[in-house]
């Protein structure tokens, strides 16, 4: 490969990490090295995902974050928001000189800056990255903003290995994260608002009237389907979203505002996963009925 990325490390093997592994295996001939703390737990989601890997001849599993870093020309950190800085600290002893460390986690500008201050003095090249959409359906082709002093040189590197919609937004750390965090105030906030609105409307038997009124203000052909989608995102990914919204609240606070909306969104996102059984219903009304039944039972 012209940019000499022979070995890629994936740090964190959840939803994002597993998608990236599959796509990287399909798009280039690099060797992939994986590490996730949950690999040591037999019945964890990370271990189950690891068992489903087909191309074992191009994939190896490290014994620690530092061990993985020592083998890689590029490290992609895809842990969770609360673990992003810790993961960088654990990888740090093994990072090779001039190796790229790309953090794609949804964390505050301050956290991204802290990672850069940690990695760059040790000879690594930290690149801030923000994925600006859900990882599905575009996966490795999802839009990604890059920032930091190494971003310009790094953009063609990851474009070559398969990240086809990555672009540089700034040479300063924090800009990509700030864009993602401010976007999340809206996106995750809408999920929380629709969940709260629809569950209350279901209680009063006015959900159709509320959706009709929303359509007058924000016209779209599929408000019931859209509302179900927004609610399902919180149910399915609420724990991770709550972590992200804590980072969002920090970002808003750093701007000089009290993060009332973002802090409340943390609570709603953290609350939503208890309704996992409601995901089986494709119809919004059925989903709301199941959620209300769960609430009444508890």
Give me the average pLDDT of each 10-residue run along the chain (298 residues): 77 94 92 93 77 77 97 97 97 97 97 98 98 95 98 96 96 98 97 98 98 93 96 96 97 97 98 98 98 96
pLDDT of residue 101: 98
Q: 127, 166, 121, 131: which is closest to 149 by C-alpha? A: 127
pLDDT given for residue 47 in this prediction: 73
Give the predicted TM-score (pTM) of the model.
Answer: 0.91
Domain covering 182-297, topology: 1.10.1040
pLDDT in tens, 156-202: 999 999 999 999 999 999 999 999 999 999 999 999 999 999 999 99
Q: Which CATH superfamily is domain 7-173 in?
A: NAD(P)-binding Rossmann-like Domain (3.40.50.720)
What pLDDT is stored for residue 57 in this prediction? 77
pLDDT the model gives residue 45: 78
Q: What is the pLDDT of residues 25-39, one digit of tens each?
A: 999 899 999 999 999
Give the per-residue pLDDT at 1.
39
Q: Which pLDDT value is given to residue 84? A: 97
Provide the residue ranges of all domains of the chain, joining segments of one domain with +. Answer: 7-173, 182-297
Q: Report pLDDT for 50.
A: 76
């Amino acid at each position: 490969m012209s940019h000499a990325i022979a070995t890629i490390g994936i740090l964190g093997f959840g939803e994002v990490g597993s998608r990236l592994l599959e796509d990287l295996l399909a798009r280039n001939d690099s060797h992939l090295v994986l590490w996730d703390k949950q690999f040591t737990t037999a019945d964890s989601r990370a271990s189950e995902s690891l068992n489903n890997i087909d191309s074992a001849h191009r994939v190896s599993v490290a014994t620690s974050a530092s061990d993985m870093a020592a083998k890689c020309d590029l490290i992609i950190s895809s842990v969770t928001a609360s673990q992003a800085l810790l993961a960088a600290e654990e990888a740090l002893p093994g990072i090779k000189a001039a190796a790229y460390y790309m953090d794609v986690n949804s964390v505050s500008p301050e956290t991204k800056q802290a990672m850069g201050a940690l990695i760059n003095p040790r000879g690594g090249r930290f690149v801030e990255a923000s994925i600006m959409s859900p990882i599905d359906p575009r996966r490795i082709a999802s839009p990604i903003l890059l920032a930091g002093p190494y971003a310009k040189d790094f953009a063609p590197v990851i474009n070559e290995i398969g990240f086809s919609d990555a672009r540089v937004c700034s040479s300063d750390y924090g800009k990509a994260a700030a864009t993602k965090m401010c976007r999340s105030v809206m996106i995750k906030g809408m999920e929380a608002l629709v969940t709260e609105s629809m569950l209350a409307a279901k209680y009063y038997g006015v959900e159709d009237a509320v959706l009709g009124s929303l359509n007058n203000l924000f016209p779209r052909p599929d408000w019931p389907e859209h509302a179900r989608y927004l609610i399902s995102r919180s149910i399915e990914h609420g724990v991770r979203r709550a972590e992200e919204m804590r980072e969002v609240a920090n970002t808003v606070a750093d701007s000089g505002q009290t993060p009332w909306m973002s802090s409340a969104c943390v609570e709603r996102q953290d609350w939503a996963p208890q309704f996992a059984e409601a995901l089986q219903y494709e119809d919004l009304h059925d989903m709301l009925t199941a959620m209300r039944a769960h609430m009444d039972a508890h």
